Chain A
Amino acid sequence: MDLLKSIAESLEHGDDERVHALVTEAVAAGLPAGDVLNQGLIAGMGVVGEQFRLREIFLPDVLLAARAMYAGLDVLKPLLARDGVPTAGTVVIGSVQGDLHDIGKNLVGIMLKGAGFEVVDLGNDVAPERFVDAAARSGAAVIGLSALLTTTMSVMKDVVDLVKARGLKARVIVGGAPVSEAFAKDIGADAYGFDAANAVDRVKALAAGA
């Protein structure tokens, strides 16, 4: 138990080498990979997400914590697959066509992984067809769209329309500096995440069918 707590704390401090070593130690000691994931990595990222939401820490700290989380996930991934531990669901994310900003989108991806989701990150400047194709292929429950520019946020509606036209079950969540709840509603998106932590909460609700 203390080992899992140490993993969470080392992750919060962005110590990737220590997280890697502790996760290796935990699985060698016979702890179930699912417990190491949930009570170690996910617990740690939950704290990081909350601290960032309150701006007690900032983007650099989150990026270091994410690197530590990935160091732990590298060890756990094959074991989670072997044990048949289910993920929280699959989410396809990307910055919409014409938008090269990916810091906010990356942050959401980090937080989603930190909440146990499988994330398919299509990167930036993603055409509507690519979102829809990737969602169909991966069986994603949710598609997450990011835009930082007033000049690109209108592309979000194209994705929403295409999801409907193709009859996909995936729900669409939108976010980014110029985006708002009213805009999301207006273009027919299923949800709006006003920051990374809120986006994860909304994705959880969407994935659960709310």
Chain B
Amino acid sequence: MRPLLERLAAGETIVGDGAWGTMLMARGLRPGVPPETLNLSSPEAIEEVAALYLDAGADFITTNTFGGSPLRLRAYGLEDRLEPINRAAVEAVRRAVGGRAYVAASIGPCGHVLKPYGDGDPDEIAGGYARQLEILADAGADLVIVETMTDLTEARLAVEAARRAAPDLPVMATMTFDRTRRGFFTVMGVTIAQAAEGLAAAGADIVGSNCGNGIEAMVEIARELRACSERPLAIQANAGLPESRGGAVVYPETPDVLASWVPALLAAGVRVIGGCCGTTPDHVRALRAAVAAAPPAR
């Protein structure tokens, strides 16, 4: 496979995969069980989801390691399973996709608020991310995705850990913003401009936003990012915000709705487009078709 950053530099738009939690629930993940344990207990479920997203046209498939950092695993008493859980995650996706898609190592928040506001120790958090990333890189991940971050300091610790522990891998970093009457902020008070600047300074090759918003708000976020960043932009939107229908949790935005906003995302300079919560292989298929139908970026 041609390296990701080369393809972006050549003007190609990269399509990501969609949600994992809902897909794994449909394959036996029970409430109360950390999703990452499925890497060991049901690797065939991971392979199946990865194959569905590959078939839908995703250029990269995310590993089931969002909560696989030592601090998160510790909360479940699973810290001693750090290596097998993270290694199995990469291996399962690789078995499913071979060389047809990038294996993207997912890194999520550590679950602690940093000092002085909470009890999170920056050295411990950075060290934890480094340990997780060394395993993911060694197992053969092709890129790192630091995602759903709301604290810029924590996001930077993760990006910097990726740069150190996996220096050969491209790093994409995305944060989650809320719309307020004064514009978009993360719950920790980070602006879009601060995120764009801070993530790039920490060494992210691609910056952007995931989760927290449906596709329409993401177009606004992308435009603001473009105004303050030269990096390729990534947007992974939810399929809207969840609703309940007959006791089931439903995400309202259909594949067609997501796809209809692709031209606007491309016009805003977004070069990596994928899905977050509530998206399915059908959403990815629609995104892929919309990207294919759009004129090349340059």
Q: What B residues does A58 contact at CB under 8 A?
A: 185-189
| Cα-based distance from A186 to B22 in the complex (angstroms) | 20
B31 within 8 A of A: yes
Segment from B8-16, B86-94, B165-173, B175-183 that makes contact with A? B175-183
Given known A125-B32, A183-B243, contact A150–B75 (CB-CB < 8 A): no
B181 with A54: CB separation less than 8 A: yes
Q: What B residues does A81 contact at CB under 8 A?
A: none
The contact string, 1 if C-beta is below 8 Å from chain A, for chain B 108-128, is 000101001110000000000
The listed residue (A61, A127, A153) touching B249 by CB distance below 8 A is A153
A60 with B31: CB separation less than 8 A: no
A38 within 8 A of B: no
The contact string, 1 if C-beta is below 8 Å from chain A, for chain B 45-83, is 000000000000000000000010000100110000000
Name the CB-closest residue of A to B182: A55
Q: What B residues does A187 contact at CB under 8 A?
A: 244, 247
Given known A58-B187, A59-B187, A150-B22, contact A98–B246 (CB-CB < 8 A): no
Q: What A residues does B67 contact at CB under 8 A?
A: 100
| Cα-based distance from A93 to B242 in the complex (angstroms) | 23
Name the CB-closest residue of B to A104: B187
CB distance from B245 to the nearest CB of A (A): 8
| Cα-based distance from A61 to B180 in the complex (angstroms) | 17
- A: contact size bracket: 35 or more
The contact string, 1 if C-beta is below 8 Å from chain A, for chain B 243-260, is 111110100000000000
A157 within 8 A of B: yes
A86 within 8 A of B: no
| Cα-based distance from A185 to B246 in the complex (angstroms) | 10
A178 with B247: CB separation less than 8 A: no
Given known A97-B31, A98-B33, A186-B247, contact A178–B277 (CB-CB < 8 A): yes
| Cα-based distance from A154 to B182 in the complex (angstroms) | 33
B35 within 8 A of A: yes
Name the CB-closest residue of B to A150: B249
CB distance from A187 to the nearest CB of B (A): 7
B32 with A64: CB separation less than 8 A: no
A182 with B188: CB separation less than 8 A: no
| Cα-based distance from A182 to B247 in the complex (angstroms) | 10
The listed residue (B22, B32, B150) touching A98 by CB distance below 8 A is B32
A150 with B117: CB separation less than 8 A: no
A154 with B31: CB separation less than 8 A: yes
Give residues 105-124 of A contacting B (CB, 8 Å). Answer: 124
B29 within 8 A of A: yes
B278 within 8 A of A: yes
A150 with B31: CB separation less than 8 A: no
Q: What A residues does B297 contact at CB under 8 A?
A: none
A180 with B178: CB separation less than 8 A: no
| Cα-based distance from A207 to B241 in the complex (angstroms) | 30
A103 within 8 A of B: yes
B118 with A63: CB separation less than 8 A: yes
A75 within 8 A of B: no
A149 with B21: CB separation less than 8 A: yes
Can you give 16 A-B contacts (C-beta < 8 A)? A54-B181, A56-B182, A58-B189, A63-B113, A63-B118, A97-B32, A98-B30, A100-B34, A100-B75, A124-B75, A125-B75, A125-B76, A180-B244, A185-B244, A186-B245, A187-B247
Given contacts A151-B24, A182-B244, 13 further A-B contacts (CB under 8 A): A54-B181, A56-B182, A57-B189, A59-B150, A60-B117, A98-B32, A98-B33, A98-B34, A127-B32, A151-B31, A151-B35, A182-B243, A186-B244
Q: Spell out A's residues near B (CB within 8 Å).
A: 54-61, 63-64, 96-98, 100-101, 103, 124-125, 127, 149-155, 157, 177-180, 182-183, 185-187
